Chain A
Amino acid sequence: MSRRVTISVPDDVAEQLDALPARQVSAYVTEALRRRRVSDDMRAALRAAGHGEFPYDPIGAAQRLAAREVTPEAREAAIARVAELLGRPADELRAQLDRRSAA
């Protein structure tokens, strides 16, 4: 089920939509709104749990996440540590981990 809606957008957004093939505009806008809904729903869940308000900041959020990524070196060190703790060959453990991350 779908229905037609009419909206007004700023010029720069209108230009972005004008650049799309006419048949793809609805799908493009739908995808963008659904992505935003994930953020809105997360905020609703947080508010229900008594959290405060958080501004919508996808660029800043991506930068903060990138700054705290686990490095490949830390992963290799952890694999060696876990292999020793568990008494298993590191290569075997790494293969199991890789199967999991690919799943």
Chain B
Amino acid sequence: MSRPYWVLDTGALLAYVHGVPAVGETVVGVADAEGTVAVPLACLLEAYSLLDPGEHELLRMLRRNPAVRTVQPALDLDNDDEAPTIGSMARHTGRLGAGHAAWVALANQAGVITSRPDQIRIVLGEGWEILEV
């Protein structure tokens, strides 16, 4: 499977639910180009924690699309355990979702759509591709 073009941080998911055009234009462009976007699990959970239950169905519709991939951390204790790394990155970003989003972005060489570019740039640097929403 090809690597995702963009990683959707928590703020991007909220922006989709609330109709922010920049995120809509980007995700539809990814679908048109037959690409994918990645949703880190921590961001997904953060988004649900911030949404009204009546808005959950909108996120479900997005997640059902084949162009949207939810990414879970590798948790193989003997071979590849990403939990300590993501947690350590979150110590610097100040938010678990930002730590996971930055890790997924780094692994896939993908830009991040976020409402908190400051948190992402703390770990990935000023040169990282970011779309602020």
Contacts and interface: CB of A to CB of B under 8 A. Distances in A.
Interface of A: 35, 38-39, 41-46, 48-52, 54, 56-58, 60-62, 64-65, 68-70, 72-75, 77-79, 81-82, 85-86, 93, 96-97, 99-101, 103
Contacts of A99: 74, 80
A32 B127 CA distance: 37
Interface of B: 3, 5, 16-19, 21, 24-25, 27-35, 57-58, 61-62, 64-67, 74, 80, 82, 85, 88-89, 92, 102, 105-111, 123-125, 127-129, 131
Contacts of B82: 96, 100
A75 B107 CA distance: 9
5 contacts: A39-B28, A58-B32, A70-B109, A81-B124, A82-B124
A74 B18 contact: no
How would you classify the secondary structure of chain A's contact residues: helix, strand, loop or mixed? Answer: helix
A64 B106 CA distance: 20
B128 A85 contact: no
Given A49-B19, A51-B21, A99-B80, A82 B89 contact: yes
Contacts of A74: 125, 127-129
How would you classify the secondary structure of chain B's contact residues: helix, strand, loop or mixed? Answer: helix
Nearest to A50: B19
B106 A35 contact: no
A69 B129 contact: yes
Given A51-B19, A62-B33, A68-B129, A42 B58 contact: no
A38 B67 contact: yes
Nearest to A41: B65
